[in-house]
Every structure is written in C-alpha cells, then in structure tokens.
Amino acid sequence: MLSRLGALLQEAVGAREPSIDLLEAFVEHWKGITNYYIESTDENTPAKKTDIPWRLKQMLDILVYEEKQQAAAGEAGPCLEYLLQHKILETLCTLGKAEYPPGMRQQVLQFFSKVLAQVQHPLLHYLNVHRPVQKLLRLGGTVPGSLTEKEEVQFTTVLCSKIQQDPALLTYILEGKKTIGRKKASREATAPLREAASVRDKDRPPSKAPDSGTCGAWASSAQLPAETEEPDGPIGESSLITSLIGLCKSKKGRVALKAQENLLLLVRVASQAAATCLVQSSACPAVVERLCQLHQSLPSSLDPADIAAVEGISWRLPSAPSDEASFPGKEALAAFLGWFDYCDHLITEAHSVVSDALAKAVAEKLFVEILQPQLLHVSEQSVLTSTALLTVMLRQLRAPALLREVVAFLLGMDQQPAAPEDSPRTLCAHLIRHCDHLSDEISIATLRLFEELLQKPHEQIVRSLILCHLEGRAYVARGSPEPESYEDTLDLEEDPYFTDSFLDSGFQPSAKPPPAPATNPDGRTAVTEIVNSFLCLVPEEAKTSAFLEETGYDTYVHDAYGLFQECSSRVTPWGWPLAPPPLDPHEPERPFFEGPFLQMLFDRMSRILEQVIGDLMQRIQRVPQFPGKLLLVRRQLMGQVPGEQLDHQTFLQGVVVLEEFCKELAAIAFVKFPPHGPHLHLSKPPEGHV
C-alpha cells in the first residue's frame, strides 16, 4: 500500500513539473556537447567515440517524450521551443560543416533525420529549421563517393516524405526564406568554438519553468510572416534537387536507387502550386543535364549493331543482363539507357505540370540539340550510331508526354500532305531519304526506326506519314467502273518470265495457286484474288514449300492475325470511321501522290521485284540442279539439315526468303479483309517454318 502511494505521489509530482525536469535535462545535454568544443584538445578522436552521439540521442528522446506528454496536440513544448529559439539546428549544421570531431557531419545528419521524422509537430515551416536543413543539404550530394552518402540519402528520404504529406513545404525547402534586412553572410558562418562559448553563457536553464506565454509568443514569431518573406537566393539553386541528383550518381547501387525513388516521390506532388514551384526550380534542368552528360560519355566507337541488340535496361537495374555478350562501351550505354528509362518513368508518374516541362526539356536538350545534328551529319558512322540509339530509346519509351515530344521532333507539327516536288526541309523528310540510302546499313537502320515509331500508340504518327495523303481518296479514279474481277486485269500467261522452259526441270507445279478462303459476295474485290496476287509473284518453278508438307501462306496467318488485332485495338480510341467517306462525283480529279513515306516503301518493293523476280527465270537456268539445291537451302534455313556451302547460295537463299515474304503479305491481306473479318479457326502453325 505504501509503495503504491509513493508511486502515485511521484506521478503527481511529475505531472506538476515535468517541463522543468525535461528542459533542464535537455539543456544539460546540449551544454555537454558545446563544452566538448571548449574543453577538448584532441582533434583526431572520431565523433562516434565521444559522448556527442549519446547526448544527441538523449535530446531526441526528450523531444519525442515531451511531445507525447503534451495535453494539447499541435503545441510546441518548452524543449522544442528552446531548440528553435537558440538555433540549435543552425549550430549543429555549422559543427557538421567543420567536420570536427571527425565524423560529426554523419552524426548531425542522423540527428536531423530523426528529429524531422519522429517529432510530429510541424517544423519545416520555421526559419530556424528549414534554413539549416538547406545548409546541411548543400554540404553533401555533390561529390560521388562521400562517406556520408547513406546518411544523406536517409535525410532526403525524410524530407521528400514530409513534402509528399504537405506539398506546401516544397516552397520552403526548394526556395528557402529569409527576413528582409537580415545580414546573411556574417551570421550564417559562425565558428564552432565561438558558437559553443556563446551557447554556454546564455543557455543555462532557468530556475523555474519558462513562462508559457513568452514561449508561445516566441514560437509564433519564429514562423515567417508572409509579408516579410523573400527567396533565399535564386530559385534555380535548389539544394535538395542538387543533393538528390548527386546521390543518384553514387557507385553504391542502393544509395543511387533510393535517391531516384526520393526524386520520384518529389515529382508526384499533388498540389498545382507545388508542381509549379518544382518546375521553376532546377529539377528539370538537373535531370536532363545528367541525361546529356551520360550521352556525352558514350564512346564514339560504339557499334550500331551492339546498340540495337541491347534489351532489358531498366532504371531499377541500370546494367545490361549478364547473359548478353560484352562489348566496348557496354557499361556507358547501359547507364545512359537506364537514366533515359528513369526520365521516362519520372514523366509518367509526375504531376502533369512537371511531366510536360520535363518532357519538353528532354526533347530540347537531348533530341534537338544533340541527336538531330548527328542524324543529319555527313558521317555515316554518326548517322548509324544516332539512328540505332534513337530506335532503342523509342522501344523503351512509355510516357505519353515524352512520346508527344518525340513525335513532334521526328515528324514535325505540320500534317499537310507533301507534294512530289517538295525538297526535304524537315528532319522527317531526311529520315525518309535515309531509308533509301546508298548505304544499305543506313537504310536498314532507318527503316527499323520507322518500324519502332509506327508501333507507338500515337495517332499523329500514322496520320502524318500515311493518312494525310490518303484522306482525300485521290487514288480512286472518278467515273471509271471497277473491274468485275481482279483477274481481268492480270494476264499472267503473257508474262515473259512464266515460260514452259522448266516443266521438265524436276518440279511438278500446280496449274493454279493454292486455294484461298471463300470470298464475301459484297461486290468488292474478292479476298481470293488479292491473296493470289501476292502468291503469284514468285513463279511456281521457284517454290519449294509444298514439297516440305507446308500448306502455303496459312503458316503466317497466326502471326498476321495477332498483328492485325493489336493494330485494331491500338487505333480504336482514335474514333476512325468504319467505312471511307463517299466520293463526290462532281469533285474534279486530282493527281494522286501517296506521300514520301509510302513512295519510298513502294520504290524499294518494286526494286525487289525487279532485282529478284525480274531475272529469276533466266538466272535459275544457269544453276545446275537448281530444284535439289533450292530444297536443300530451304532445309538448311529451317535447321533441318546441317549447313554447307553451296554454289549460288546467296541467290538460292534469296529465292526462299522471297517466297516466304510473298506468303506473309498474302496472310496479312487475308486476315484484314473483309472488315468484319473471317471466322478464323486457327491451328498451331508447324514448327520450323522460315
């Protein structure tokens, strides 16, 4: 009973004067830290071997305990007011900057992080908090490999988390605030010893609890009056952004990844005002500057083929998969593509204001200022490397805002149809010319770029390259009746390449092409005729698929149908009409120009027909045992027999590939016609088809 009564009395005493005991203990621990700088003469003892870490922990525990004991939530207790009034955080920041004793900066960073994270009372609005926070940010994050990287990234994690909870804090952290008339230069850089001495003289605890009215009035005055605030230096000098970007360069993977996650947390702010503040800061320029620096680090000797083969680069894992072959410049390329993927992710996740600004910055600084001159360079190596790099970047790109900027960069904003006589003034016109370059490597690389571009879900791509030239339907002759049958326009028997010279060559060609599916009796060109128009491009004497129990073009129908479905779903949101608009019979006929892009494709395809099919029948007569060798080459390409060198092997491979190409075109024509689609009952295609 007596012990219980004693406990109750002790609680009663503690309830009556808790602030006096806590404040006295808090000040005593702070005096212990300042006395160290007055009394210590050993400059080599690490901070962690002194009593400073223990005293800082006691001060933190007192602040947290005091807050829990506060009767009214949201009010600052005497210890917290003492910390603010006597600029303890400012002093600690100065001690951390001096790095005395050695490792003091690490201790200060930890204390700041824990105070901001564990004390629930809003602190970052106070001048005597956010000013030392900014100073502390400026101490690190600029030199990769700092010994305090771990503590720095933890500090920025707390700050970004606080900003996410209260976006209004972004203004204080990014811009900083000061009161007009204050002298910054002389008062912000007090020497540790002088600071400690002054604190020792004035920081003795009072004999009784501080007057709550006085403390409350001071706490109110410590917050910045709106009418006396101004930015603490230029907005562009953002210590938080600089610190985060610097930590993103860390060689320690976990530190770099955490810094990237913190920056991602920052750009997700929901407030319009905070997002605008972020755009006005150094955030976008700093992110893009890092991207451009990594691009400049790419070796000029990079092989375009190696660039095109790199896959699986992610900002969370910014290194190429280990199973890929190594090549010179691989690490630099992986670092660049990893940061580009991170920029794409930032733009995807950020507030729309930040997203648009960052996308424009990437387009201006990387695409226009760096890549465009390389794409238009006279050096073939420069054109090849930049085209391959741009293709890989397009493959990674997902952010709608960045895609919009890339489309404007590549295709321009003008969607008016081009005329045949137009000179290539735009980047797009030059790239289309590159598709038909004297260098086959440049042609193939640029065709791959357009292939990647056409797979992106952006209507302007298809409209600018193709549709703007077809919408007027000038390709339809006014007043001329359509032929009853497509076969009426074909006279294959008169083709000089379809001769009887090979009826005894060993092949047994069929009299007609393989039958195609049934047609729709809707008065339009039958799907059978369209399919056969592709299948008949290769003479029967040069076909071999039937001899290996293949069923013709239907081996490609599965892939073609999947591609058609993918394209259909991609264009559905664009609201295209289901049928072409009717022609006006009174409209005068205009010359049809398919546009430079389709013209280039048709020109290349026509040359294929001229260079292979045009003299095919004459060339195969000069190849001894042509049928048997052609079958052997097909089996080699399918992996059915070991490869061996044959005479005319390139020509024989070209014949096989051409037959497969025509079958693939026939399959594409089949699956997309008629508009409502045939009912496909598709079985799994045979394995090993070319």
Q: Which of 81-90, 418-427, 625-634, 651-660 has the lowest mean pLDDT?
A: 418-427
Predicted local confidence at residue 72, as pLDDT:
67
Asked if residue 108 has pLDDT above 50, the reply is: yes
With the C-alpha atoms ordered 649, 653, 656, 659, is the resulting torsion angle positive or negative?
A: negative
pLDDT range class, residue 600, cuts 50, 70, 90: very high
Q: DSSP secondary-structure letter at 318?
A: -
> In this structure, are residues 291 and 343 in contact, taking their beta carbons and an 8 Å threshold?
yes
More confident residue, 373 or 311: 373
- Tell me what the mean pLDDT of segment 523-538 comes to: 77
588 preceded by a cis bond (ω within 30 of 0): no
More confident residue, 115 or 12: 115
Q: Which of 316-320, 617-621, 666-670 has the lowest mean pLDDT?
A: 316-320
pLDDT range class, residue 551, cuts 50, 70, 90: low
- Containing 177, the helix (H) or strand (E) segment is strand 177-179
- Tell me what the mean pLDDT of segment 634-638 comes to: 86
Predicted local confidence at residue 479, as pLDDT:
61
- Tell me what the mean pLDDT of segment 30-36 comes to: 95
- Tell me what the mean pLDDT of segment 144-172 comes to: 91
Question: Of 295, 442, 307, 317, which Cα lies nearest the Cα of 369?
Answer: 295
Could you give the CA distance from residue 627 to residue 619 in angstroms, rounded to a whole number? Answer: 13
Asked if residue 678 has pLDDT above 70, the reply is: no
Question: Of 168, 177, 280, 187, which Cα lies nearest the Cα of 232?
Answer: 177
Predicted local confidence at residue 142, as pLDDT:
57
pLDDT range class, residue 617, cuts 50, 70, 90: confident
**pLDDT per position as a tens digit, 345-367:** 999 999 999 999 999 999 999 99
Asked if residue 487 has pLDDT above 80, the reply is: no
More confident residue, 308 or 613: 308
Greatest mean pLDDT among 18-32, 123-137, 468-482: 123-137
- What six digits make up the tokens of 206? 């009072």
Predicted local confidence at residue 293, as pLDDT:
97
592-617 as b/e, with b when 16 or more CB fall inside 10 Å? ebbbbbebbbeeeeeeeeeebbeebb
Does the pTM of the predicted model rise above 0.75? Answer: yes
Q: Which of 66-70, 298-302, 446-450 has the lowest mean pLDDT?
A: 66-70
Look over the chain and give the mean of its residue pLDDT values, rounded to a whole number. 79
Percent of the chain with pLDDT over 70: 75
- What six digits make up the tokens of 207? 């004999």
Q: Which of 443-447, 457-461, 606-610 has the lowest mean pLDDT?
A: 606-610
Half-sphere exposure of 500 (CA within 13 A, CB side): 1
> In this structure, are residues 433 and 424 in contact, taking their beta carbons and an 8 Å threshold?
yes
- Tell me what the mean pLDDT of segment 589-596 comes to: 87
Q: Over 37-72, what HEC string results?
A: HHHCCCCCCCHHHCCHHHHHHHHHHHHHHHHHHCCC
- Tell me what the mean pLDDT of segment 259-277 comes to: 93
Predicted local confidence at residue 235, as pLDDT:
38
- Tell me what the mean pLDDT of segment 19-39 comes to: 90
| Residues facing 230 on adjacent strands | 178
List all residues 6 or more positions away from 351 whose beta carbon is below 8 Å from its beta carbon.
Answer: 267, 268, 269, 270, 272, 274, 275, 278
Asked if residue 256 has pLDDT above 90, the reply is: yes
Give phi and psi for 476, each to the nearest 5. -95, 125
More confident residue, 402 or 471: 402
Question: Of 616, 615, 609, which Cα lies nearest the Cα of 540?
Answer: 616
Predicted local confidence at residue 303, as pLDDT:
93
Could you give the CA distance from residue 349 to residue 344 in angstroms, rounded to a whole number? Answer: 9
Could you give the CA distance from residue 115 to residue 88 in angstroms, rounded to a whole number? Answer: 12
Asked if residue 396 has pLDDT above 80, the reply is: yes
Terminal CA-CA length for the chain: 95
Predicted local confidence at residue 420, as pLDDT:
77
List all residues 6 or more positions away from 517 whose beta carbon is below 8 Å from its beta carbon.
Answer: 527, 528, 670, 678
Predicted local confidence at residue 497, as pLDDT:
38
- Tell me what the mean pLDDT of segment 435-464 comes to: 94
**pLDDT per position as a tens digit, 178-230:** 332 333 333 343 334 344 444 434 444 443 333 333 333 333 333 332 333 33
Asked if residue 332 has pLDDT above 60, the reply is: yes
AA letter at 579: A
Predicted local confidence at residue 13, as pLDDT:
41
pLDDT range class, residue 478, cuts 50, 70, 90: low
> In this structure, are residues 442 and 388 in contact, taking their beta carbons and an 8 Å threshold?
no
Counting beta carbons within 10 angstroms of the beta carbon of residue 349, is it exposed (0 to 12), middle (13 to 18) or buried (19 or more)?
middle
List all residues 6 or more positions away from 174 whose beta carbon is below 8 Å from its beta carbon.
Answer: 235, 238, 240, 241, 277, 278, 281
Give phi and psi for 344, each to the nearest 5. -60, -40
**pLDDT per position as a tens digit, 498-514:** 344 333 434 444 334 44
Could you give the CA distance from residue 91 to residue 96 in angstroms, rounded to a whole number? Answer: 9
Could you give the CA distance from residue 253 to residue 225 in angstroms, rounded to a whole number? Answer: 42
- Tell me what the mean pLDDT of segment 586-605 comes to: 87
Q: Which of 107-116, 176-185, 480-489 has the lowest mean pLDDT?
A: 176-185
